Amino acid sequence: MKNCEYQQIDPRALSTPAATPTPPPAGPGSEKSGPQRPRRKWEVFPGRNRFYCDGRIIVARQSGVLPLTLGLILVTSGLFFIFDCPFLVEHLTACIPAIGGALFLFVVVSLLQTSFSDPGIQPRATPDEAADIEKQIDSSGSSTYRPPPRTREIVINNQVVKLKYCFTCKMFRPPRTSHCSLCDNCVERFDHHCPWVGNCVGKRNYRFFYCFVVSLSFLTTFIFGCVITHLTLRSQGGNGLVHALQESPASVLELVVCFFSIWSILGLSGFHTYLVASNLTTNEDIKGSWSGKRGAEDSGNPYSYNNVFRNCCAVLCGPMPPSLIDRRGFLPPDSAPPAAPPEPELPPFVAKHDTNMVGGAT
């Protein structure tokens, strides 16, 4: 016989009829923690976004380039106002810092509006809505083995437009809507996802993005021209360009930043001016949806008014559509996720030595 030690449940714990633990005594602050705080919709938002200020600010989860964009604008403009403006005011006019300040404020405000606003996110279908759409799709399919099509066709300005089904949002996307893989949202009039502003660019913030790009091109050109004028005036009188750079070393950094960024910013401004005049989006232009790249016979843009002025007014001056996700709204009590039940306490374990167990042949 061999001694063997094992764990056995205490039989006294099994014989007790009451298995629920006794609640702790009520403290002085327990009366205040009765009903739970109502939760807002942004707290359970399914997309890959971050919310701040109780849902008032929405940005993409991957918004690490936004501080770089804001930092370049602040540093370059700050150096211009500190090192170049005093000399230009003394030798030219006092309007230079006023114009630069107005452009700087316009750039920063339009950038923040683009980055912190809802681009036009479409709410996902509820389980009941998704089930109803699935029934409609199944009923529209044939009796063969082939699955029913996941597209619908509508007519816009006498032209057929296909609506694609989004498997993530469980709905047919509205016209000009596309699903952003980075934010994991369907965005109405989706233009593109811009990492420089840290957000998608869509129907509700495209006008802010366009104002940001155009005003930034004016600001960059203005600073670039003023810095060259500053260095030219300092180098006059036989001092030379080297002496001017030594007296104002910050102007070198401004020249480098403006020189390498002005070309891309001006090109981007011209490209989006063409899109606004044509009532197109970057996504539609790249895919060639209405330019005949897909070989369609009737490939005209059904959303264009065939007038540059009307297209610009429709894109930039139309009424601001409301946000559809209602991120600051409260969840109904029945839709709140239930609280996890408390884990039951296991009965205590006691160690017991048993010499009657056979541990091996004797």
> Cβ contacts of residue 20 below 8 Å, gap of 6+?
none
Exposure string over 162-180, b if 16+ CB within 10 A, otherwise e: ebeebeebbbbbeebbbbb
Alpha-carbon gap, residue 119 to 320, rounded angstroms: 11
Which helix H or strand E contains 161, and what residues bound it? strand 159-166
Which helix H or strand E contains 194, and what residues bound it? strand 192-194
Alpha-carbon gap, residue 130 to 149, rounded angstroms: 16
Can you give the length of the chain in residues? 362
Residues annotated as catalytic (active site), given as ranges: 194
Please, are residues 204 and 323 in contact by the beta-carbon 8 Å criterion?
A: yes
Q: Is 226 helix (H, G, I), strand (E, B) or coil?
A: helix
> Cβ contacts of residue 259 below 8 Å, gap of 6+?
224
Q: What are phi and psi for residue 344, nearest 5 degrees?
A: -70, 145
Q: Is 156 helix (H, G, I), strand (E, B) or coil?
A: strand
Alpha-carbon gap, residue 124 to 199, rounded angstroms: 19
